[in-house]
């Protein structure tokens, strides 16, 4: 039995992925603004964007994993799809770690720098994951 991972006829995974991408790529910018412009409102906005990215990212990862386990397209490159999934899941783990640290650590210059470092690592992994996912999509389009 195949699960229908669609909303209004649109596949769920591609529908969801754009939200964590946007949230997480804006977080380092907000952290830099907090470092140079003072914590508020930038630090709160960065934490909120991180948490929203984590929540929607978890749903996106789950949908992507279900699609990976039961691929709907013949000829899908499962190795490339696995690399995409692993890379984006690692980004999710980094941003989750950042959110936990941001909640536990006091708001100070050193803690904001530590969180910014995690955001930059997470963003680098995310961009790599986006690249791999985009390659997957265009590879499938070329084969049709």
pLDDT greater at residue 119 or residue 71: 119
What is the average pLDDT across 80-108? Answer: 95
In a domain, 82, yes or no: yes
With respect to residue 58, please indicate whether it lies within any of the assigned structural domains: yes
Residue 77 has pLDDT above 90, yes or no: no
What's the pLDDT tens digit per position in 36-56?
999 999 999 999 999 999 999
Is cis: bond before 41, omega within 30 of 0?
yes
For residue 118, being part of any structural domain is answered with: yes
Q: Is residue 2 part of a domain?
A: no
Phi, psi of 86 (to 5 degrees): -65, -45
Global confidence as pTM: 0.89
Give residue 93's domain range. Answer: 12-70+78-143
Number of domains in the chain: 1
Question: Does residue 6 fall inside a structural domain?
Answer: no
| DSSP three-state, residue 30 | helix
Q: What was the pLDDT predicted at 113?
A: 95
Is 120 inside a domain boundary? yes
């Amino acid at each position: 039995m195949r699960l229908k991972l669609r909303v209004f006829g649109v596949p769920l995974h591609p529908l969801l992925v754009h939200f964590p991408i946007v949230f997480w790529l804006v977080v380092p910018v907000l952290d830099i603004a907090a470092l140079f412009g003072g914590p508020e409102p930038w630090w709160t906005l960065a934490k909120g964007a991180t948490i929203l990215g984590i929540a929607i990212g978890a749903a996106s990862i789950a949908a992507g994993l279900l699609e990976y386990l039961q691929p709907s397209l013949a000829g899908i490159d499962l190795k490339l799809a696995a690399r995409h999934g692993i890379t984006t899941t690692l980004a999710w783990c980094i941003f989750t770690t950042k959110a936990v640290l941001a909640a536990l650590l006091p708001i100070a210059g050193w803690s904001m720098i530590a969180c910014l470092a995690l955001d930059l690592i997470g963003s680098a992994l995310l961009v790599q994951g986006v690249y791999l996912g985009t390659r997957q999509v265009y590879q499938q389009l070329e084969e049709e």
